[in-house]
Structure 1
Amino acid sequence: MAAYLQSSLSVRLKRLTRLTGLFAGLLLSAQVGNAAPALEPGPAQPLKGIGGAEGGPGYQAVADPGFNLQPRDLIFSASPDPDLKALIKGAMGPDGEVRLEQAFLERPLRPSGVRWKAGRFYSDIGYPHREHPAQWGYTQGHVPYGFLKKPFHLRDTGLQLTWKAEASYHLRLGVEAFQGESGQLNRFDGKEVLAGAGLGRQAVGRYGEASDGPRLYTAFAEAAPPLGGPHRLQGSVFGILDSDRQELRYAGSPELQQGSYWMAGTSWVYSRNTPTAFGDGRLKLSAEYLHAEKDLEVAYHADEPGLVGEDRRRTEEAYSLQARYGFSPEVNADVRFDLVGLVSGLRTEGRDQTATHLALESTWSPTEHSTLRARLTRDAGERPGPRSSESRFMLRYSLDLGHFGGDFL
């Protein structure tokens, strides 16, 4: 069950509004196939995104089998004056604990077309990345984004500057500077990890502290031509730079690697909208490509000091293709294919360094606020041992009160 509740409150003759939500879903799951043994007791290890081949966060499902009360949003926004926007967003878990997700101020610099945002917020890189989980047409997120902190989103504390053209077409440019606390995307293991690995006090003192922030930077550009009618097309390009990266590896003995990390990507989405409800005759096609490179070198080796200075470079690529079609006012069908792979660099012995994910999903919406989803997935690769595969079937029913937003452009 999902609930999106709306409230309003006056603040200095302006308004404090937004929505709150709790989500509980019923998910019945069955598995078949040749699943590899897990690293720990439990289900087979899931697919991972870029960076996952070298220890990144796993590819996580939105809901586990059985009954779920998932964290959902508590959002408050204020407009102290016509131009200034303030937003605070938290996520409430099943235990009632609220965790801060976003807190920022945003304001345009008139008449330049420039807008600034400061605080803790989600990055605007890529169209799929900006989709909230409540807007996903799938029960799981994008495999290529499995390397980002929290499920499939880059969220950090920083400053954003954007510029939007005042024209008949859509053109938006932006840059962001973040402190650098986004997990695997800008990994820095630090003194606690180094000390726990048995590095000496001198090495921990020398390499244990990250440089002063900001350490993570992004830039993006997006454009949409005025096609007219029901057709819409939007393309974007973006880049990410982690200027201070540190990874502790084990190859018989601890090896500390330091350097930088960058990623570039492009995403494209086309949609054909129709005026009927629930997506009758609607079509949405999207594609995304990511290219990531780690430029690291050995900074410390416990047993072989002669390795210090050697390159440890890696290159990874990821692709994602999606399609959605509305067969009737109540029924939508989706298909998605994701591929993540290590193109070059050090490989983990005994492991396949590529992963694929194929998903077929059908959605039936008997009412405006209820959804029944059937999903069949096929995952292959990216697990210990020989290349393995796993198939899953999932059935989920959800009920919401209110809306979170549209599924189409």
Structure 2
Amino acid sequence: MQRTAWLAGIALVVGAGETAFGQTAPYPGAGAAGSSSAEVTSGNRFNPDISVILEGNAYWDDADGEGAGLPGLAEGINAAHGGAGHDHGHAHGGDEPGFNLKPTELLFSASVDPYFDAFVQAVIEDSGEVGLEEAYFTTTALPAGLRVKGGQFLSGIGYHNEKHRHQWEFIEQNLPYQHLLGPHGLMDSGVQLTWTPATPVYTHFGVEALQGDQEVVGRFAGEEAIHGLEEEGHVTGGTLDPYRDPDEGPRLFTAFAKVAPDLGYSHELQAGLFGVYATDHQEIHGGETLPVHVTNGQSWVVGTDWVYAYDAPDQYGKGDIKLQAEYLYAVKDLEVAYHAEDPSVEGDRREFTEDGFYVQGRYGFAANWRAGARYDMVGLTNKREGPGTATHWDRSERISANVTWSPSHFSRLQAQWSRPEIATDHGTETANQFFLRYILSLGQHGAHDF
């Protein structure tokens, strides 16, 4: 099947109610968020597509309002464990009981000239603070199916990682992404090279070199955490000066591959493999109750992603099916570089291992209506090993279900129930969570990819 025919097929598979919630397509020549280099107007200095995404929800739980924070407390290799310079919650915009305005997204995309497209996404928090999520260019005229992306962007690894919050099928980030990649997934500054060869079977390959400024994989505690410990008087022996600055970037590298066999007009399947490697990973633990110690080394994540979609003959998404799943396996290979009270352990190796997966599906049970379910978990493997010692943590899991109504391509209303069962340092904690969510799209916005 020719690549153009395949792409036309997956556009139909996506179904009703999704055009307003799109992202950049992963093939050469596709403009950022739907822009087209072929439509550049001579002398048009600034003529971007502009869209605004509004999102909010109403939230309740049966845990005295603490349910939204539970997933961030899961025990595992990236939990605080008395550490410094680390966000225990790992929350992505935690919800309070009642009404919540989520970050408002501003999206700008345009064809710069016949050779480059550009895309910018800024977010406005409910406090009024403005932040930048993505700002990148993509090439549009390279030969042989090659494309270069540069700037700050969501990595192309996996399936879910490139999706913005308003594209998530469920309100909360899935557990393996949250704990093994970060609350936003993997997003960084750097450069990406992809290759989509003109073959009968769709194949897509990519590599990235990223700066390595991350909260989870490849994180670096550094100056801020060290200064805080010194100010509080927790550094009682030696000096932490050698551990203030990270290695020069880029410090984070990724590779990914995707393949989509031809299953006919109504069915689509995509499978992928990916890997992430951080050359410089530093953690600083201790403080109030434990002696300060520094661990340095490397960290990496490997995974696989699978997506299946069926486009039913009915219109507006009725009868459509979409299934997706991803598995992640993360390792941190570290050495004790400094210990305030026991220098004899310096040089000892510490290996941390944790995995996780999610599986979710949705079904269009009526025109513009769909129902979805998800199971996500972390910690089938969840351990820390050192010389003669090993620590194992329990797994955490969650089930969720939702119903979504999309009156048009530019609006979505959703009701969701979730029940997390989270292994914390106080034992397993559970909650029943209820959400009512709205998403509205104002202005131009590109179509979904597969």
| TM-score, length basis structure 1 | 0.87
Q: Does 1:79 align with 2:111?
A: yes
Query: What is the DSSP-based 3-state SS (H/G/I as helix, E as strand, rest coil) of the residue aligned with 1:186?
Result: coil
Correspondence for 1:309: 347
Judge conservation of contact 2:69–2:89 (CA < 8 Å) in 1.
no
After the TM superposition, which residues 27-38 of structure 1 pair with which residues of structure 2 at under 5 Å, given as runs? 27-31=58-62
Correspondence for 2:383: 344
Q: How far apart in 2 are the matches of 1:323 and 1:388?
A: 26
Judge conservation of contact 2:77–2:353 (CA < 8 Å) in 1.
no
Correspondence for 2:7: none
Cα 1:219/1:140, change in 2 over 3 Å = same
Range that drifts further, 111-120 or 68-77: 68-77
Q: Which fold has the larger relative contact order, with Cα–Cα distance below 8 Å and residues 6 or more apart in sequence?
A: 2
Q: Does 1:47 align with 2:71?
A: yes
Correspondence for 2:51: 20
Correspondence for 2:430: 389
- Of 250, 263, 267, 2:305 maps to 267
Give the root-mean-square deviation of aligned CA atoms.
3.2
Judge conservation of contact 2:384–2:392 (CA < 8 Å) in 1.
no
Cα 1:387/1:377, change in 2 over 3 Å = same
Correspondence for 1:362: 403
Q: How far apart in 2 are the matches of 1:131 and 1:323?
A: 16
Range that drifts further, 14-23 or 117-126: 14-23
What CA deviation, in whole Å up to 9, does each residue of 1:330-383 have, x standing for no partner? 321111001101433159999953110110111233555444322221111232
Query: What is the DSSP-based 3-state SS (H/G/I as helix, E as strand, rest coil) of the residue aligned with 2:400?
Result: strand
**Post-superposition offset of 1:106:** 1.7
Structure 2: runs of 5 or more not aligned: 1-19, 22-33, 81-85
Q: Does 1:334 align with 2:372?
A: yes
**Counterpart code for 2:384:** G
**Post-superposition offset of 1:185:** 2.1
Q: How far apart in 1 are the matches of 2:181 and 2:328?
A: 17
Cα 1:171/1:85, change in 2 over 3 Å = same
Structure 1: runs of 5 or more not aligned: 36-40
Q: How far apart in 2 are the matches of 1:277 and 1:59?
A: 38
Q: Does 1:299 align with 2:337?
A: yes
Cα 1:25/1:103, change in 2 over 3 Å = closer
What CA deviation, in whole Å up to 9, does each residue of 1:37-63 have, x standing for no partner? xxxx95574214775434655244675
**Counterpart code for 2:276:** I
After the TM superposition, which residues 1-400 of structure 1 pair with which residues of structure 2 at under 5 Å, given as runs? 12-13=43-44, 16-31=47-62, 45-48=69-72, 51-54=77-80, 57-60=89-92, 63-108=95-140, 110-147=142-179, 151-197=183-229, 198-199=234-235, 203-250=239-286, 252-274=290-312, 276-341=314-379, 342-345=381-384, 352-366=393-407, 369-400=410-441
**Post-superposition offset of 1:14:** 7.0
Cα 1:213/1:350, change in 2 over 3 Å = closer
**Counterpart code for 1:69:** L
Judge conservation of contact 2:333–2:352 (CA < 8 Å) in 1.
yes
**Counterpart code for 1:259:** G
Query: Whose strand proportion is higher, 1 or 2?
Result: 1
**Post-superposition offset of 1:113:** 2.2
**Post-superposition offset of 1:122:** 1.2
Cα 1:313/1:11, change in 2 over 3 Å = farther
User: Identity across aligned pairs (percent)?
Assistant: 35
Range that drifts further, 141-150 or 50-59: 50-59
**Post-superposition offset of 1:142:** 1.4
- How many residues end up aligned between the 2 structures? 399
What CA deviation, in whole Å up to 9, does each residue of 1:130-179 have, x standing for no partner? 22221222121211111377733211111111111112321111110111
Cα 1:11/1:244, change in 2 over 3 Å = farther
Q: How far apart in 1 are the matches of 2:68 and 2:170?
A: 21
Query: What is the DSSP-based 3-state SS (H/G/I as helix, E as strand, rest coil) of the residue aligned with 1:211?
Result: coil
Query: What is the DSSP-based 3-state SS (H/G/I as helix, E as strand, rest coil) of the residue aligned with 2:235?
Result: coil
Query: What is the DSSP-based 3-state SS (H/G/I as helix, E as strand, rest coil) of the residue aligned with 2:157?
Result: coil
Range that drifts further, 266-275 or 55-64: 55-64
**Post-superposition offset of 1:264:** 0.2
